[in-house]
A and B are shown apart, each in its own frame.
Chain A
Amino acid sequence: MKRVAQIAALSAAAALALAACGDAPEEATGSATSTTAAADFTGCMVSDAGGFDDGSFNESSYAGLERAVEELGIKKAEAESTDAGQYNGNLDSMMQNDCDLIITVGFNLADATAAAAEGNPDQKFALIDSTVDPARENVKPILFNTHEAAYLAGYLAAGITETGTVATYGGFPIPSVTIFMDGFVDGVAKYNEDHGTDVKALGWNKETQDGEFTDTFDDKGQGVISTNNFIAAGADVILPVAGPVGEGSLSAASQNDGVKVIWVDADGYDMYPEYQDIIPTSVLKGMEQAVFDVLYASTGTAFNSDAYVGTLANEGIGLAEVRDESVPEDLLEEIDTLKQQIVDGELVVESPSSISVD
């Protein structure tokens, strides 16, 4: 036993010596840090129980904070929640940390944010995917009209399906997920109305707000199962709204000729080079940009409690560039027209999960 320990210690020391014989750096002379107002600004973020590495909205929001640190030179502090019981505690510790703006990620933190905002009227907050009730002077909701972009995706899906059946599924039946599904099935219905077709959309019933869910945001195997079921039912365009679970759809679709997947949140074409030929487009939800913009505005004097709403008009949400050659030109033109109508307010896309701010 002793001998083993000696050998282990020796080899550890040797490894260390090899790795550690670099030269010491010179003492730094003078500071090179930025001296703008932003350098004194601390942006703070509290995740929901998913954590900042959830491959989904916590991660996208956190990317916005990191970008602000890099580009604006602000300081950051973060608190990751591992369960719902930590929201209040994490917010409280942020309050002790001289944060200029505390960004809370997700509707799960709405109650905790509202309570903290009430008790600390001088502290500014931004809350993603939810409003607080009643609205407060020091809480800025960051919302997304995701259903508008998903509507365009549904229209596109209905336009490219060969089998006349498309499908969608979600991770959990929560508004930030079902809002995609609402828009998607409405987009399909709009295509049917315009073209007199009868494309079926499986996986979601907007009336009853009921449909197919994997009940997980991590288990990719569930994504494979759901997708294979849909393929067996004749669907050839799938919209997974379940974060990384959607990778299961990509893998299942790649093994079935002619099946395509519309990605969500970020541009799947860039994220998954190996699946580029089966990703016609993606429904973009620009959380990173929104967080960055709100932080940027707050480093100046421009904080206000008006909601930031990502729309097709301000490109806070949108449809990713369609790089699939097989999508017909006139379909793309129709989608552009629809987009313009939505931007102009001539066409209103509705979802019970969208949050109105007026």
Chain B
Amino acid sequence: MTDRQPGTSTAPGTTKGSEPRDPSGTAEPNRGRTLLRDIAESTGAVVTLAVLAALALAAVLIAAANPEVQRTASYVFARPSDFLTAVWEAVWSAYSSLFRGAVFDPQASTTERMFRPLTETLTASVPLIFAGLGLGIGFRSGLFNIGAQGQVVLGAVVSAYVGFAFQLPALLHVTLAVLGGLMAGALWAGIAGALKARFGANEVIVTIMLNSIAVLLMSYLLSTTAFKRPGSNNPISPMLDESAMFVPLLGDSFRLHAGWLLALAAAVGTWWLMERSTWGFKFRAVGANADAARTAGTSVRAVYVWVMLVAGGLAGLGGVSQVLGTEGVLQEGVAGSIGFDAITVALLGRSRPLGTVLAATLFGALRAGSPLMQTVSGTPIDIVLVVQAVIVLLIAAPPLVRSMFRLPAPGSGSRLAKEVAA
């Protein structure tokens, strides 16, 4: 962080609590916001290089974990060709099977199966798009919302309940299930927004705690008769009604569902909200400089609440798409780690809608490809987690990537900061 531009340097007088009271109106943003803005401003080149560097580092680990490589390494100087061949084969088989599982499988038995991997990637990206969009809005508004996981869980719980507990006509049923999940996520996040606006409670801590509460709430609900499948003692809900499920887009042999279109629509909607609407301008103004925004007449408290409601609603839709799109049932772990992966997705997508969609698709590809990578090449699935983690590490420190690849430093501070300051 040595080559930070003067305009974004962290001042010692970082403000505490939610509402900065510095009357000068030129208070430096706090450290977290500066980091968020740094990441948001990292260039496409940095992001691409971070992904490539992560894949390269993972390749080293794949090779190191491979038993054949370990065996040949013991005599690498006697016959290096064995070692190099083993390394090449380990890395090639891992990444080629990842590709086969995520994009296109030339070895599949039918044409349908050849193209299925790409649709699986898109399917896996849907919940990440929703949750990532929500988090991106928060990040750009200066709210470090770690609570997407809890909002995803709540969205999944409510939409699943609507899905299996009611018998309704098709279109109405799925609409109600979607709205239920959306509102559940919004309200869950709204708790954190309201606590921050009213009492200055730190949204990081509140949302993390709400995550735990949401997960345990789901566990509890799954142990009640209202949620348990009749005749079974397992904590698994009844199957959802067909009428509540998203329709498949490409027929029954593909899992890609209408939720993907909804996710793309949400991305366009988010773009409009943030770039074209008055509220979006207020959101961004508060994110850039809350004091200046307040001086300009924006109710910062109202913004906090609205940002959390919108972000939570989108994250809730992530849970909805998981339940109504692919799973069709509510059970422990149905939300996986979507809420946490989405943080990475939003950061990688630089909190912009298009970037988020692309980043979610990349993560969807990693997720869709990893089973085949695991079964065909025996590569541990944890490698995928390493790739994701390294990507975060690298984009969280843009100067590191720049120095690794000798990129020039970017131009000074954000446009918006100037816009607001002006």
Q: Which residues on A are within 8 Å of B, measured CB to CB?
A: 16-17, 19-25, 44, 49, 77-80, 82-86, 88-90, 92-94, 96-97, 107-108, 110-111, 130, 172-175, 178, 209, 215, 352-353
CB contacts (< 8 Å) of B9 on chain A: these are none
Q: Contacting B336 at CB < 8 Å: which of A21, A82, A96, A172?
A: A82
CB contacts (< 8 Å) of A49 on chain B: these are 332-333
CB contacts (< 8 Å) of B236 on chain A: these are 107-108, 110-111
Docked CA distance A90–B82 (Å): 32
Q: Contacting B73 at CB < 8 Å: which of A19, A25, A172, A178?
A: A19
Known contacts A96-B108, A215-B216; is-contact A24 B235 (Cβ 8 Å): no
CB contacts (< 8 Å) of A22 on chain B: these are 74-75, 78
Q: Are the CB atoms of B234 and A93 closer together than 8 Å?
A: no
A-B complex: 3 closest residue pairs judged by Cβ atoms: A83-B336, A93-B371, A84-B333
Bitwise, B13-28 to A at CB < 8 A (1) or not (0) is: 0000000000000000
CB contacts (< 8 Å) of B101 on chain A: these are 93
CB contacts (< 8 Å) of B333 on chain A: these are 49, 83-85, 108
CB contacts (< 8 Å) of A82 on chain B: these are 336-337, 381, 385
Q: Are the CB atoms of A93 and B219 closer together than 8 Å?
A: no
Known contacts A19-B74, A22-B74, A88-B326; is-contact A94 B79 (Cβ 8 Å): no
CB contacts (< 8 Å) of B77 on chain A: these are 17, 20-21
Q: Are the CB atoms of B337 and A83 closer together than 8 Å?
A: yes
B120 interface residue per 8 A CB criterion: yes
Besides A16-B76, A89-B367, A110-B234, 6 other CB < 8 A contacts?
A: A78-B375, A79-B371, A82-B381, A85-B335, A90-B371, A111-B236
Q: Are the CB atoms of B375 and A86 closer together than 8 Å?
A: no
User: Which residues of chain B from 66 to 117 have a CB within 8 Å of any chain A CB?
Assistant: 73-79, 82, 101, 105, 108, 113
Known contacts A77-B375, A83-B337; is-contact A173 B327 (Cβ 8 Å): no
B329 interface residue per 8 A CB criterion: yes
Q: Could you list 13 examples of A-B contacts with CB < 8 Å?
A: A24-B79, A44-B375, A79-B375, A83-B335, A83-B337, A84-B332, A84-B334, A85-B333, A88-B327, A93-B101, A93-B372, A96-B375, A209-B233
- Give B373's nearest chain A residue, CB to CB: A93
CB contacts (< 8 Å) of A107 on chain B: these are 234, 236
B331 interface residue per 8 A CB criterion: yes
Bitwise, B365-377 to A at CB < 8 A (1) or not (0) is: 0011001101110
- Give B97's nearest chain A residue, CB to CB: A93
CB contacts (< 8 Å) of A93 on chain B: these are 101, 371-372, 374-375
CB contacts (< 8 Å) of A92 on chain B: these are 371
Known contacts A78-B375, A79-B374, A86-B336; is-contact A20 B235 (Cβ 8 Å): no
Known contacts A93-B101, A96-B113, A108-B332; is-contact A173 B223 (Cβ 8 Å): yes
Q: Are the CB atoms of A80 and B381 closer together than 8 Å?
A: yes
Docked CA distance A107–B329 (Å): 13
Q: Are the CB atoms of A23 and B234 closer together than 8 Å?
A: no
Q: Are the CB atoms of B233 and A97 closer together than 8 Å?
A: no
Known contacts A79-B375, A97-B375, A175-B234; is-contact A24 B239 (Cβ 8 Å): no
Q: Are the CB atoms of A85 and B336 closer together than 8 Å?
A: yes
A69 to chain B, nearest CB (A): 12
Q: Are the CB atoms of A23 and B75 closer together than 8 Å?
A: yes
Docked CA distance A97–B335 (Å): 27
Docked CA distance A79–B101 (Å): 13
- Give A92's nearest chain B residue, CB to CB: B371
Q: Are the CB atoms of B74 and A20 closer together than 8 Å?
A: yes
Q: Are the CB atoms of A85 and B327 closer together than 8 Å?
A: yes
Docked CA distance A80–B335 (Å): 17
Docked CA distance A304–B336 (Å): 34
Docked CA distance A108–B82 (Å): 43
B322 interface residue per 8 A CB criterion: yes
Docked CA distance A75–B367 (Å): 25
CB contacts (< 8 Å) of A24 on chain B: these are 75, 78-79, 82
A128 to chain B, nearest CB (A): 13
User: Which residues of chain B from 312 to 363 have a CB within 8 Å of any chain A CB?
Assistant: 322, 326-329, 331-338
- Give A106's nearest chain B residue, CB to CB: B234
Bitwise, B151-194 to A at CB < 8 A (1) or not (0) is: 00000000000000000000000000000000000000000000
CB contacts (< 8 Å) of B336 on chain A: these are 82-86
A142 to chain B, nearest CB (A): 16
Bitwise, B232-266 to A at CB < 8 A (1) or not (0) is: 01111001000000000000000100000000000
Q: Are the CB atoms of B381 and A178 closer together than 8 Å?
A: no
A272 to chain B, nearest CB (A): 28
CB contacts (< 8 Å) of B328 on chain A: these are 111
Bitwise, B270-300 to A at CB < 8 A (1) or not (0) is: 0000000000000000000000000000000
CB contacts (< 8 Å) of B381 on chain A: these are 79-80, 82
A67 to chain B, nearest CB (A): 18
CB contacts (< 8 Å) of A77 on chain B: these are 375-376
Q: Are the CB atoms of A111 and B371 closer together than 8 Å?
A: no
